[in-house]
Chains A and B, each alone.
Chain A
Amino acid sequence: MKVLEGFEFRRGNTFIHKLDPRVKLLYSVYIFALAMIYSHSLTLAVLFISTLPLFYVAKSLGKLAKSLKGSIILIAFIFIVNYLTLGFERALAMSIRFLLIISCFSIFFLTTYPEDFAEALVKLKIPYEFALTFTMAVRFVPSLSREAQIIVDAQRSRGLELEKGNFIKKLRNYIPILIPLIVGAIRRSIKVAEAMESRAFGASPKRTSLRELKLKLRDYLFLILITSFFIFALYLRYCIGIESYVFSIFELT
């Protein structure tokens, strides 16, 4: 669960927070692509370190650290499997690649308002209904989790012991928790639908929006910055063959 903390949105006022979500998403895509293209542990490490300044600016280094700490087991697993089959350097490389993937999408989710994300989706031509579904899901997660806790309390007060019994019994014990939760969710969704209808949802085929995502100067600057970086990284890899160079150094030692 701690892994998810690296993806929890946090309100903030930093440069990164203010960037248009589409630009941030592009950044994540660039880094992901580079993480796949590069394969030596040293170059991957450099790539990883290059993402850290962004976290620093977004004041989210702490959150990143937490989520990486939370995935330590997974990283250890990846390392061990690769070490046993492909050797130390490969294991290191794969682990760093995994870290990179977590961090590159983490920066996006940590610094983007969920509803701006929804709006970015609409701008990317995804139908409003889908974006709305995403927004509502995020909206109701805290409510659901609160309700789940109340339900657990209520059933424990009737003598339900969740920790007792063998595996099968434990599963069965969750039925009195899941059913009220699901029924409650269904009931709520009907109420939400009623409320949406009562505020004229679907009145006009051309729906407008209070806020519109507009690329600003800082977005263009960032776009130029990261695209140059991406092109430069590709250049290094394919034209100069930096990786083969790095590989050969390590082969000699």
Chain B
Amino acid sequence: MIEVRGLWYSYGEIVALRNVSLKIELGEVVAIMGENGAGKTTLIKHFNGLLKPQRGYVKVFGVDTREVTVAELSRRVGLIFQNPDHQLFAETVWDEIAFALKNFGFPKDVIERRVEWALKLLDLYSLKDESPFALSGGERKRVAIASVLSYDPDIIIFDEPTVGQDYAQKERLAQLIKLLQSQGKTVVVVTHDIEFVAENFPRVVVLSRGEVIADGATRKILTDNEILEKARLLPPQVTQIAWELSDFGVPRDLLWLPEIRDAILKIVGGRL
């Protein structure tokens, strides 16, 4: 589905990606983590052709990204940018969501249907005639998401979707991702929010200084102190507690609240 092999990319003198290789299959839900400057955003810009490899290749649905335009790739790979204010421009929310559909040449009746669908999915129906600029931050974010989901790409990439979001908004985002997955979409999320990844992603790719230093099961990677240190990431809260209690026999690879609770209950159990 997405195949990256030996990818190198530099901005002038600065090497952003070094020899990156990875594969993302149909229907997967993957998180890409790494500290600022690790190359996460540079990497995902290769997935819809905004950037072309300087060495190595990137193939999406078997097609080398250098052979197609950004518009052609974007039709199947939706990229939702971090800041919705970098794309909102239309007179109404409806127009904003219809924009991509119009660019891709969808017929009018299809556009109508798709926009309605997206509005309802993101709970924006009542705001469809409002100006996007009059909406709250959270609402603008949902409009940005709706405007990409409306044209139904097969792969959906979110760039730092949790920044500035409160807990409830993150929960809704997690549910949306699950929904997309159930529809057979492939979802890639770039984030530095380790709690969000620990709770919602079975697979994580960790970048550090342009290199892939880990790629696999979230549980194994986010509880591995060496990898976390190298990537300058802080461990999830539950994992931190588990490490503090490892002397008592608590396993070190815990990620979720029920797990740590049960582990503690076991230790303390005899004392009740």
Contacts and interface: CB of A to CB of B under 8 A. Distances in A.
**A adjacent to B, CB under 8 Å:** yes
Given A157-B70, A157-B148, A161-B103, 20 more contacts: A147-B86, A150-B86, A151-B87, A153-B45, A153-B81, A154-B81, A154-B87, A156-B50, A156-B71, A157-B74, A158-B74, A158-B99, A158-B103, A158-B148, A159-B71, A159-B74, A160-B103, A161-B71, A176-B89, A184-B86
A215 to B, nearest CB: 39
A209 B61 CA distance: 61
B86 A154 contact: yes
Which 8 pairs of residues, A with B, have the shortest CB-CB distance?
Answer: A159-B103, A179-B89, A158-B100, A154-B87, A157-B79, A154-B81, A176-B89, A156-B70
Interface string B65-93: 00001110011001101010111110000
Contacts of A158: 74, 87, 99-100, 103, 147-148
A187 B85 CA distance: 10
A71 interface: no
Nearest to A148: B86
Determine which residue in A153, A157, A180, A187 has the highest number of CB atoms from chain B within 10 A of its CB, and name it: A157
14 contacts: A151-B87, A156-B50, A157-B50, A157-B74, A157-B79, A158-B74, A159-B75, A160-B103, A176-B89, A176-B99, A180-B87, A180-B88, A183-B85, A183-B89
B186 interface: no
Nearest to B48: A157
Contacts of B70: 156-157
Interface of B: 45, 48, 50, 69-71, 74-75, 78-79, 81, 83, 85-89, 99-100, 103-104, 133, 147-148, 151
Contacts of B71: 156, 159-161
Interface in A145-179: 147, 150-151, 153-161, 175-176, 179
Contacts of A187: 85
Interface string A107-142: 000000000000000000000000000000000000
Interface of A is mostly: helix
A158 to B, nearest CB: 4
Given A158-B103, A159-B104, A183-B133, A150 B81 contact: yes
Contacts of B104: 159
A147 B81 CA distance: 12
Contact of A157 (B78, B85, B89): B78
Nearest to B104: A159
B74 A156 contact: yes
Given A176-B89, A183-B85, A161 B69 contact: yes
Contacts of B69: 161
Contacts of B86: 147, 150-151, 154, 180, 184
B52 to A, nearest CB: 13
Contacts of B74: 156-159
B99 A180 contact: no
Nearest to B69: A161
Contacts of A161: 69, 71, 103
A155 B87 CA distance: 6
A180 B86 CA distance: 6
Contacts of B133: 183
A169 to B, nearest CB: 12
Nearest to A158: B100
A154 B82 CA distance: 10
A192 to B, nearest CB: 16
Nearest to A186: B133
A155 B86 CA distance: 9
Contacts of B75: 159
Determine which residue in B69, B86, B88 has the highest number of CB atoms from chain A within 10 A of its CB, and name it: B86
A126 to B, nearest CB: 34
B78 to A, nearest CB: 7
B216 to A, nearest CB: 28
